[in-house]
Amino acid sequence: MPDTFTRFGSNSGQPVTRRDGIAKVTGTATFAADNHPDGLLHAVYVPAAIARGRVADLDVSAAEAHPGVTHVFTPANRPDLAGDPDDKPTRFSFRIEVLQDDTVRYAGQPIAIVLGETLEAATEGARLLSPRYEAQPPRTGLDDNATFAVEEPGFGAPGDTVLGDIDAAHADATISIDATYETPPQYHNAMEPHAVVAEWDGDRLSLDMPSQALRMTCAAYAHLFGIPAENVTLRSPYLGGGFGSKAIATGPLVLATLAARAANRPVKLSLTRQQMFGPVGHRGATRQRLRLGCDADGNILALDHETLATTSTFETFLESASNASQGLYTASAIRSAHRGVRLDVGTPGPMRAPGEASGSAALECAIDELAEAANMDPLDFRLRNYAEVEPGTGRPYSSKALRECYERGATAFGWADRPRAPGTMRSSGGQLIGWGMGTAFFPSPMFAAEARSTLRADGSAVVETGAADMGQGAWTALAQIAADGLGLPLDRVEFRSGISTLPDGGVAGGSGHTATAGGALHAAGRDALHKLGELAAEQSESPLFGAGNSEFEARDGRLYVAGDDTRGDAFADILSRAGLSELQGTGSASRPEADTRDYAMNSHGAVFAEVAVDPDLGQIRVRRLVGAFAAGRIINPRLAESQLMGGMIWGLSFALLEEARHDPRTGRIVNADLAEYKVPVNADVQGLQVITVHEDDPHVNQLGIKGVGEIGITGTVGAIANAIWHATGKRVRRFPIRIEDLVGI
Ligand code: MOS
């Protein structure tokens, strides 16, 4: 039968409200830490108070004497793990700290874990441990250790790329800038702390744990505990945010699982806010040098982007910031290079728009600086250097409506009225006003996922995949796609997800989850309809009898010969005649290698910012943000716009607020809480407008979906920084931009 069920139904494109919304606002949604199995023990771990050295002495007697404490584990009595915690069992694995020795490698590293009958007992037990440390001077700043180059490029290990003759391009440039930007360490700070309830039954493990990658997490635990992956059941119905930090197995949660096995009782561990600053990933700091050159007409000749990025002493994950410069602007030559520096900090990891967030912050500022040096409007300058094909490789873009994003964003913002010179606009209250812009850009990857669709006798369906909804609304968009794959209204489709026993839903990351899990769901629906069509074509009473070689289409629970509305049959009737109570289809999705080779695939956008700077106090307010984004087919405009808004707010946060600061004496983070690690509140976010520009993309995947989860950050940071320059004439190249950078300007 021909493959004909590709037509989109009417569910996609609708601004459906999120299906988990009511459960969340009424408090009936169950998060991992809400589980209380019988016999539960509570775990509290002790975070290292130094960043570098060793635990010379750890007297556990007082803790063990506590009547409510049942177990105290330290490196001296830590039960064995089957797998080496240095191993990399999955694509997204890092070495983890699970009490394997007495070395302290970062502040906050677990050095002991205490189990108690109550959380209070375990907490008190942990306090009764008074470790004695032998400390060495901690290295927590970009200049505190030697730099290194990546030897084997891979996940988190970006290499160097040179396209064209960079030296010649520099030499040919008549207008140049050489600017260095710094970005600080940032921590994910999901609302829901990392948590696990681990329960063993012989060699079977059940985990209630928020996870962005259910099967991958199961594989990592199976490796560490020496059991088959199918023996691990992971339930992750809801996540209170993930942002990359919940995609990877982390030390504290593995340790709680190990303790549960040793205690032979279920164990719950929920990290405190402070404990999330260390062992569960972060965005590493960067120092980025951009050397850009253009000719007198503003054509970029050299685009040279070097990044120094931090990682831990025991693992390599570098913020691949320079990659942001590879695919966006035309240039005679492009060079991107990365170096790392090992510090006494927890291993960084993917954090929303890893690489591109930091990289585009610097790139978009540098482009602005070069435009100014070339005496051009920043938008005109970007259009002058607009890439019609991917620079360097010459690959066509699978789709690229960036030009339309520029136009629509600029029009909505009123960019044409922007005076060129900085420091020339004032509000009626005397505030300095500035307008800036940045280009947004994020790759559109696909991973691999599988799904199952089951048509039921009453003509309804159940669709299943072990996908993850971090709060972004993935399940809602995925259910819409699944319903369209089946030609059913959304309310006839039951959507099941969030548990590892379902077909592998892949990874909720890289802005690729909707495309990947959605592709699998759509394919599973199509597969069920193929089977249904084959049945109907054999049924003499069916209007589809004998239509086995026709093309079919499905809508509203009926299967039709394509283009012939008079020849249709209800799903339920076909199943009933066949004597079937249900019919199952399966599907999978991934990207063919040839498509990756032949096309550059990215989402694009343009962000425009208006800031007001108090000329006396240096206080900065972002008064307006307008973002126009092109990300293929938008499945759910309400949720996509929310995602893009969330990204833009994060961009504001990156530009003006977020920074983890280490005490140079102890190496500890001094603002490891939400009182002093600043994130935006409502009052920080004033005007916010999102425009989505539709793209028909026949190449990116069968459904034409790109991602919207991360791109919103990328243009926004530069737009705000550029607006601050435009308001004040002062170029600040260190993020976050603070009052003290602008006071007395
Ligand atoms: Mo993300 S940083 O791909 O969860």
CA distances from 276 to 20, 130, 280 (A): 26, 21, 6
Query: How many Å apart are CA 550 and CA 207, to the nearest integer?
Result: 48
pLDDT range class, residue 594, cuts 50, 70, 90: confident
Number of Cβ within a 10 Å radius of residue 685: 15
Quick one: average pLDDT of 701-714?
A: 96
In contact, 333 and 169? CB cutoff 8 Å: yes
Q: Position 705: which residue type?
A: I
442 in ligand 1 pocket by Cβ < 6 Å?
A: no
Query: How many Å apart are CA 89 and CA 252, to the nearest integer?
Result: 18
CA of 354, closest atom in ligand 1: 2
Helix (H, G, I), strand (E, B) or coil at 529: helix
CA distances from 515 to 474, 602, 664 (A): 10, 13, 44
pLDDT range class, residue 578, cuts 50, 70, 90: very high
Q: Please name the residue that has the structure tokens 């050159």.
A: 293
In contact, 359 and 443? CB cutoff 8 Å: no
How far apart are the CA of 670 and the centre of ligand 1, in A? 26
282 in ligand 1 pocket by Cβ < 6 Å?
A: no
Q: Which two tokens stand for residue 602?
A: 């990215």
Number of Cβ within a 10 Å radius of residue 703: 23
Of 175, 171, 220, 226, which Cα lies nearest the Cα of 204? 226
User: DSSP code of 157?
Assistant: B
Quick one: average pLDDT of 613-629?
A: 97
The pLDDT tens digits of the residues spanning 630-639 come to: 999 999 999 9
CA-only gyration radius of the chain, Å: 27
CA of 349, closest atom in ligand 1: 2
212 in ligand 1 pocket by Cβ < 6 Å?
A: yes
How far apart are the CA of 248 and the centre of ligand 1, in A? 10
647 in ligand 1 pocket by Cβ < 6 Å?
A: no
Distance of CA 248 to the CA centre of its chain: 12
How far apart are the CA of 330 and the centre of ligand 1, in A? 28
Q: What is the model's pLDDT at position 267?
A: 99
Protein residue with least CA distance to atom 4, ligand 1: 244
Q: Position 345: which residue type?
A: V
Helix (H, G, I), strand (E, B) or coil at 278: coil
Query: How many Å apart are CA 278 and CA 138, to the nearest integer?
Result: 14
Number of Cβ within a 10 Å radius of residue 666: 17
Catalytic residue among 582, 593, 710, 740: 710
378 in ligand 1 pocket by Cβ < 6 Å?
A: no
Peptide bond into 348 cis (omega under 30): no
How far apart are the CA of 666 and the centre of ligand 1, in A? 30
Q: Position 559: which residue type?
A: L
How far apart are the CA of 243 and the centre of ligand 1, in A? 5
Cβ neighbours for 594, distance < 8 A, ≥ 6 positions apart: none
Tell me whether the CATH fold assigned to 21-28+448-590 matches the one assigned to 395-446+591-745: yes
pLDDT range class, residue 745, cuts 50, 70, 90: confident
Query: How many Å apart are CA 486 and CA 488, to the nearest integer?
Result: 5
247 in ligand 1 pocket by Cβ < 6 Å?
A: yes
CA of 246, closest atom in ligand 1: 4
Long-range contacts of 544-548 (CB under 8 A, 24+ apart): 544/568, 544/569, 544/574, 548/1
Q: Which two tokens stand for residue 43?
A: 């775990």
Length, in residues, of the chain:
745
β-pairing, 300-312 with 333-343? parallel
Q: Which two tokens stand for residue 491?
A: 């309310």
348 in ligand 1 pocket by Cβ < 6 Å?
A: no
Out of 194, 216, 352, give the residue to mutate to test ligand 1, the one with the largest number of ligand atoms within 8 Å of its CB. 352
Where do the structural domains in the chain lie, given as residue ranges?
21-28+448-590, 395-446+591-745
281 in ligand 1 pocket by Cβ < 6 Å?
A: no
Query: Looking at the predicted structure, is the pLDDT value of residue 62 above 80?
Result: yes
**Cross-strand pairs, 333:** 302
Query: How many Å apart are CA 340 and CA 348, to the nearest integer?
Result: 12
Is 553 catalytic? The answer is: no
Quick one: average pLDDT of 682-700?
A: 95
Quick one: average pLDDT of 708-733?
A: 98
β-pairing, 449-456 with 582-589? antiparallel
Q: What is the model's pLDDT at position 3?
A: 38
Query: How many Å apart are CA 559 and CA 595, to the nearest integer?
Result: 32
Half-sphere exposure of 563 (CA within 13 A, CB side): 4
Query: Looking at the predicted structure, is the pLDDT value of residue 1 above 60?
Result: no
Q: Is 459 left (phi over 0), alpha (psi -120 to 50) or beta?
A: left
Q: What is the model's pLDDT at position 528?
A: 96
Q: What is the model's pLDDT at position 6?
A: 44
How far apart are the CA of 286 and the centre of ligand 1, in A? 18
327 in ligand 1 pocket by Cβ < 6 Å?
A: no
Query: Looking at the predicted structure, is the pLDDT value of residue 326 above 80?
Result: yes
What's the fold here for domain 395-446+591-745?
Answer: Aldehyde Oxidoreductase; domain 4 (3.30.365)
How far apart are the CA of 146 and the centre of ligand 1, in A? 29
The pLDDT tens digits of the residues spanning 261-309 come to: 999 999 999 999 999 999 999 999 999 999 999 999 999 999 999 999 9
pLDDT range class, residue 2, cuts 50, 70, 90: very low
Out of 94, 239, 243, 470, give the residue to mutate to test ligand 1, the one with the largest number of ligand atoms within 8 Å of its CB. 243
350 in ligand 1 pocket by Cβ < 6 Å?
A: yes
The pLDDT tens digits of the residues spanning 378-415 come to: 999 999 999 999 998 899 999 999 999 999 999 999 99
pLDDT range class, residue 475, cuts 50, 70, 90: very high
The pLDDT tens digits of the residues spanning 203-251 come to: 999 999 999 999 999 999 999 999 999 999 999 999 999 999 999 999 9
Quick one: average pLDDT of 346-371?
A: 98
Q: What is the model's pLDDT at position 356?
A: 97
CA angle 245, 250, 254 (to 5 degrees): 145
Q: What is the model's pLDDT at position 635?
A: 96
pLDDT range class, residue 622, cuts 50, 70, 90: very high
What's the fold here for domain 21-28+448-590?
Answer: Aldehyde Oxidoreductase; domain 4 (3.30.365)
Half-sphere exposure of 637 (CA within 13 A, CB side): 8
pLDDT range class, residue 4, cuts 50, 70, 90: very low
Query: Looking at the predicted structure, is the pLDDT value of residue 472 above 60?
Result: yes
The pLDDT tens digits of the residues spanning 430-444 come to: 999 999 999 999 999
